[in-house]
Structure 1
Amino acid sequence: MLPFLMQMRLDDATEEYTELIKKIVKGIENLSRLREEDIEIGVTPKEAVYREEKLTLYHFQSTVQKQLRTPVLIVYALVNRPFMVDLQEDRSLVANLLKLGLDIYLIDWGYPTRADRWLTLDDYINGYINNCVDFIRKKHDLDKINLLGICQGGTFSLCYSAIYPEKVKNLIVMVTPVDFQISDSLLYMRGGCTLGAEALDIDLMVDCLGNIPGDFLNFEFLMLKPRQLGIQKYLDFPEIMHSEDKLLNFLRMEKWIFDSPDQAGEAYRQFLKDFYQANKLIKGEVTIGDKQVNLGNIRMPVLNLYAEKDHLVPPRSSIALERYIGTTDYTVRSFPVGHIGIYVSSKVQRDLPPIIANWLNARE
């Protein structure tokens, strides 16, 4: 006969195993009922109002009668799709901002192909973003609009606002890299912020590959936290698959993570070399086309939002912004989440949209 304690452990293990099997069986039933449309992302109603090559500018349908007069243009990163800001009905920054009376536009960069190999940051910032801003200005008969830049899109928005301050009324940046010389950040080191081309030879990569594959960037991001992002979440999957809501949340997130467009080679080359490796943004040495980027030209009100546990854009990189811009109307707010949590955390989605809406309303 087994000792009493050992018997208890065996009983506990048997019970846990039985419960796990029940969850797996229920999870298989849930999976068997799922359809592709059940894990659709970017669900808030919207209309394509402007197209240019691969780019689509969307205008979201208002959900309230009274809107803020000045619309907001969301500029997302080139990496991944922009619909993390509209992941699902109950976790949508866009939907929550609409409910608070904001008029929202969003740039969808699309999927670059080999034909876009030679697109540069000049094309993206002085071309696409500027054309979208001008379209919105003309449609609303306004001199200036509001910009909300996210991650790399925030860096683009900083560059744009420094070049065209006369077109930007208020600037909001979220989890945005500013100072790229953060030597204890794995992503920044992999990009070459410490060793430059000795860490990563961008010229060789672009010359060989042309466009940078989205799968390469996905693998790079996953390897920053290989156990948590590459193994543990799948080991934990049987524990959540019995819950239809948790299962759908998981699958929507996976769909977004692995929907990674390729990166236009020349734009990627300049961004990695000038921003990561040479840290030219805060030095005032970035040139976009024939235009110099001087952050001191940013004199419009600025709201800087960052995530305290962000492993992709370290807080120190974001909060450095205050030292380089020219505005006296500067607000910074942080949230105790990671890079993705700032979009999807239920607590952040409760607190963040009112912060943005109230901040803009006070400057309307």
Structure 2
Amino acid sequence: MPEIKTTLDRLIHAMEGRYTKGMSPASLLLAYMDWLIHMGHSPGKMAEMTENILRKNSAFMLWASRAVFDPEIKPFIKPLSDDRRFKDPAWNKFPYNVISQNFMLNEQWWHYATTNIPGVAKHHENMVTFSARQWLDMLSPTNFAATNPVVANKTLASGGMNLMQGMQKLIEDMQHTLLEEQPAESDLKVGRDLAVTPGKVVYRNRLIELIQYTPTTEKVKAEPVLIVPAWIMKYYILDLSPGKSMVQYLVDQGYTVFMVSWHNPTVEDRDLSMKDYTQKGIMAALDVINKIVPDQKIHAAGYCLGGTLLSIAAAAMARDEDDRLQSMTLFTAQTDFTEAGELMLFIDESQLSYMEDMMWDKGYLDTKQMAGAFMLLRSYDLLWSRMVNEYLLGDKPGTSELMAWNSDATRMPYRMHSQYLRLLFLNNDLASGRYIVNDRPISLRDVRVPVFAVATVTDHVAPWKSVYKINDLFNTEITFVLTSGGHNAGIVSEPGHPRRNFQIGLQRAEDKHIPPDQWLQQHEKHQGSWWEPWVGWLESKSSPGHVLPPTLGNPDDGVFPLCDAPGNYVMEK
């Protein structure tokens, strides 16, 4: 009987989640109740808020009366440096300057009203502030034709054709949504335009395909490179188009490169665990590489979740005296999740329980739910600006390599994703030395191989100060790089890419702790791509000289080429 009741609860939560986009109503209600109750018990704060809005509005009304007659008037509120909504000069003219400034004034007040309430739990405060920001983003004057001067000017210039084209695009998108049809695929195709570096799939199991890339140099460095991407994404972000491919760049620099390509899970894979991703993923790949390049250590690199998994594997290997790693590189990978950015808004006991019930129903976390969470985190870039451009301005959406890759999402198995969120995000077991591998805990302090860690300045998924915590967790030499760009664009930073810069610093095991803000001040910016110093670092950690490239696979040891790169798993929808 208890099982029937539990199943009923899970079914109800799963059905609710389809309409709440995976957000737990209980979690949101708790946050708002916490905020409201403490606000009601803070008459001093309410008095401050009242005084603030009266004073600011009085000053604004005086400014607005002057703005009618003074076209050169300075803004009442200066937008933040990363706020691009009102950059167009048309927003400086009356009445649009008054409209935009009034909106920013309201934004300021709501931020003031939702923060620094005595007694409110920090997590609840962040949720309420985030929710208020989502509502304000939706009501921004940029989103409406009548209050957006850029839209008004284009409508006059085109005779309204932009609105007709936007309406046609809106109807097409609504049709795809209502009929659950897939929108038209990008003109960029995997295997033709993307992921085209030549190579062979040399191993396949239930979870991964291992790709070995064809050498382009007569001789190569003795130690091969294994890249472990995140399973929340397709691997080819690291092998985009020619000239923008990290894989191609490494191969051309004389490295033997292997890439893990993850299987896109289905309902049959619901019970795959974090242990499976470690054993059938990283450890299986290392075993195969040892057969193709015997008696050589391996440079391992991990991206995002793949870097976290690689850190787990490296700590377990160090504990078990498995010394097959020569070095470890981590791209935007967190090992301590206490400050894991705005993703933590979706992580609490109520939210995880709700998400687990949704995954239990399907057997996996749907791509739409993950896309929805990331869209909320960057609602202006991924939602509202797109709607304005396509539906109001009538612009046709462009297609770039990163956009095509970003739309090619993957699913998360029920068991693995639940373990990942609970053990790492919620409990922070890895940083606390409580994470269990093969029935025993591991410690990141056991890792002794040199580490090259990359963080990006504007990362919403793995904030750079969170990535920086690696300096306090590993007892080894760490080269830390902070590069311009975001979670994805900052990593795809090929030499010659315009407007790229980075800072780099070395911390040895015996060095004292440097706070992140102090680190930022102590290290100068270098123009260009961080790929170049990374390759120089890899060379410094490799054996001197070069050797003949290994064969693709090793039939003598049972490793046969199975098919051409990019393989089958990357094609799975």
How does the TM-score come out when normalised to structure 1?
Answer: 0.83
**Which of 127, 138, 163 is the aligned partner of 2:316?**
163
8 A contact 2:356–2:414 mirrored in 1: no
Asked if residue 341 in structure 1 is aligned to residue 489 in structure 2, the reply is: yes
- 1:263 partner letter: M
Asked if residue 317 in structure 1 is aligned to residue 466 in structure 2, the reply is: yes
**Which of 261, 265, 271 is the aligned partner of 1:118?**
271
3-state SS in 1 of match to 2:196: coil
Instruction: Find the counterpart in structure 1 of residue 525 from structure 2.
Output: none
Return the offset for 1:66.
2.9
Distance 1:16 1:291 in 2: 69
Return the offset for 1:234.
5.3
8 A contact 1:70–1:146 mirrored in 2: yes
Distance 1:72 1:19 in 2: 57
Return the offset for 1:204.
3.0
RMSD of aligned alpha carbons: 3.1
Question: Greater CA deviation, 336-345 or 317-326?
Answer: 336-345
Instruction: Find the counterpart in structure 1 of residue 35 from structure 2.
Output: none
**Which of 163, 184, 207 is the aligned partner of 2:360?**
207
Distance 1:106 1:19 in 2: 52
TM-superposition CA deviations, 1:179-219 (whole Å, max 9, x none): 21117x211231x2xxx313432543433332111221111
Instruction: Find the counterpart in structure 2 of residue 351 from structure 1.
Output: 529
Return the offset for 1:13.
4.1
3-state SS in 1 of match to 2:430: helix
3-state SS in 1 of match to 2:412: coil
Runs (5+) with no aligned partner, structure 2: 1-92, 95-148, 166-183, 502-527, 543-573
3-state SS in 2 of match to 1:300: coil
TM-superposition CA deviations, 1:139-194 (whole Å, max 9, x none): 101252111000000000100111113121100001001221117x211231x2xx
**Which of 520, 533, 539 is the aligned partner of 1:361?**
539
Return the offset for 1:127.
2.8
Distance 1:15 1:117 in 2: 51
Return the offset for 1:14.
6.8
**Which of 272, 276, 284 is the aligned partner of 1:131?**
284
Distance 2:199 2:272 in 1: 27
Identity, in percent, stands at 22
Return the offset for 1:248.
4.1
- 2:339 partner letter: I
Return the offset for 1:19.
12
Return the offset for 1:65.
2.3
Asked if residue 172 in structure 1 is aligned to residue 326 in structure 2, the reply is: no
3-state SS in 1 of match to 2:364: coil
- Equivalent residues in 2 for 1:14-29, closer than 5 Å: 17=157
Instruction: Find the counterpart in structure 2 of residue 70 from structure 1.
Output: 223
- Equivalent residues in 2 for 1:274-285, closer than 5 Å: 274-285=423-434
3-state SS in 2 of match to 1:305: strand
Distance 1:207 1:272 in 2: 15
Aligned pairs, number = 338
Return the offset for 1:225.
1.0
- 1:255 partner letter: A
8 A contact 2:268–2:363 mirrored in 1: no
Judged with a 3 Å threshold, the aligned counterparts in structure 2 of structure 1 residues 189 and 213 are, in CA distance, closer, same or farther, namely: same
Distance 2:159 2:438 in 1: 61
Q: Which has the higher contact order (CA 8 A, sep 6+)?
A: 1
- 2:491 partner letter: Y
3-state SS in 2 of match to 1:48: strand
- Equivalent residues in 2 for 1:268-307, closer than 5 Å: 268-307=417-456
Distance 1:86 1:16 in 2: 44
- Equivalent residues in 2 for 1:175-194, closer than 5 Å: 175-182=332-339, 185-190=341-346, 192=347
3-state SS in 1 of match to 2:204: strand
8 A contact 2:226–2:258 mirrored in 1: yes
Distance 1:317 1:95 in 2: 30
Asked if residue 331 in structure 1 is aligned to residue 479 in structure 2, the reply is: yes
8 A contact 2:234–2:409 mirrored in 1: yes
Distance 1:214 1:288 in 2: 28
Distance 1:298 1:148 in 2: 14
Distance 1:59 1:19 in 2: 56
8 A contact 1:286–1:293 mirrored in 2: yes
Runs (5+) with no aligned partner, structure 1: 26-31
TM-superposition CA deviations, 1:67-94 (whole Å, max 9, x none): 2211111101110211111121122111
Return the offset for 1:20.
11
Distance 1:221 1:150 in 2: 18
Distance 1:304 1:19 in 2: 53
Question: Greater CA deviation, 37-46 or 120-129?
Answer: 37-46
- Equivalent residues in 2 for 1:172-251, closer than 5 Å: 172-182=329-339, 185-190=341-346, 192=347, 196-201=348-353, 202-233=355-386, 235-236=388-389, 247-249=398-400
8 A contact 2:224–2:297 mirrored in 1: no
8 A contact 1:121–1:289 mirrored in 2: no
Distance 1:179 1:296 in 2: 13
Judged with a 3 Å threshold, the aligned counterparts in structure 2 of structure 1 residues 37 and 304 are, in CA distance, closer, same or farther, namely: closer
8 A contact 1:74–1:147 mirrored in 2: yes
Return the offset for 1:59.
1.0
- 1:155 partner letter: T
8 A contact 2:201–2:212 mirrored in 1: yes
TM-superposition CA deviations, 1:94-129 (whole Å, max 9, x none): 122222222211100121122211111111102321
Question: Greater CA deviation, 50-59 or 347-356?
Answer: 347-356
8 A contact 1:84–1:343 mirrored in 2: no
8 A contact 2:304–2:332 mirrored in 1: yes
